[in-house]
């Protein structure tokens, strides 16, 4: 009888440890390089907390040093904030998507399957480096929320996994550039979702 209780205790402790480890792993970034697009993460829908795109030929990618994605909602505008490395420095790209006002991260599920035209819809895109801030004049572009799904651990919803693609043409220092092969796979939850409209 004591042996059974001992083994049951070990199994229960292992299960709790694994559950906490899985939750921790959902906060880190898992970078699996795309063999077809060197320097970019492979597109995934597993909450790997990665993103990447080419800006002309230079990769802009997530790192493990920063939270790669945040969602901030203010005044009926959803801001998808991507923070990573571009040309060896910390850089931020912000997609400002008008007409989207999720109250909680669970409501991000409403974006599932949506394609947003960055030129025609009420949108803006900002690109911030340590030296410059660019408010992009969009020539053309889209962001496609291919799959948004709710993630549960032990029957408790802890995140929305937001995955998709983006591309756009714009200007940087008066020169036309293309941002291509953009992809993102982000876990959005309590720690990186902020609705400032509710204040």
Residue 6 has pLDDT above 50, yes or no: no
Query: What CA–CA distances, in Å, run from 82 to 15, 59, 111, 128, 129?
Result: 33, 13, 17, 10, 12
Which residues, 6+ apart, have CB-to-CB distance to 37 below 8 Å? 52, 54, 181
* Most distant CA pair in the chain, distance: 77
- Count of residues in the chain: 199
The band of 92, judged by pLDDT with boundaries at 50, 70 and 90, is: very high
Q: Where are the alpha helices (DSSP H) in the chain?
A: 2-25
Confidence at residue 10, expressed as pLDDT on a 0 to 100 scale:
45
Which residues, 6+ apart, have CB-to-CB distance to 184 below 8 Å? 50, 51, 69, 82, 162, 163, 164, 165, 166
The pTM of the full predicted model, rounded to 2 decimals, is 0.86
Residue 14 has pLDDT above 60, yes or no: no
Note the pLDDT tens digit of each residue in 140-160: 999 999 999 999 998 889 999
Domain locations in the chain?
Answer: 29-198
């Amino acid at each position: 009888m004591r042996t059974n209780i001992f083994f049951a205790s070990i199994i229960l402790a292992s299960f709790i440890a694994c559950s906490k480890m899985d939750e921790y792993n959902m906060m880190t970034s898992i970078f699996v390089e795309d063999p077809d697009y060197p320097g970019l993460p492979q597109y995934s829908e597993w909450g790997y907390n990665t993103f990447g795109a080419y800006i002309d030929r230079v990769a802009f990618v997530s790192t493990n040093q920063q939270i790669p994605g945040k969602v901030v909602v203010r005044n009926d505008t959803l801001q998808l904030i991507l923070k990573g490395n571009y040309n060896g420095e910390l850089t931020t790209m912000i997609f400002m998507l008008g007409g989207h006002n999720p109250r909680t991260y669970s409501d991000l599920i409403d974006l599932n399957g949506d394609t947003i035209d960055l030129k025609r819809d009420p949108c803006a895109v900002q690109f911030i480096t340590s030296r410059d801030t660019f408010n992009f004049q969009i020539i053309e572009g889209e962001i496609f929320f291919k799959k948004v799904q709710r993630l549960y651990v032990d029957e408790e919803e802890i995140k929305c996994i937001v995955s998709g693609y983006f591309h756009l043409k714009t200007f940087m220092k008066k020169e036309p550039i293309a941002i291509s092969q953009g992809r993102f796979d982000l876990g959005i939850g309590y720690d990186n979702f902020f609705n400032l409209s509710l204040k």
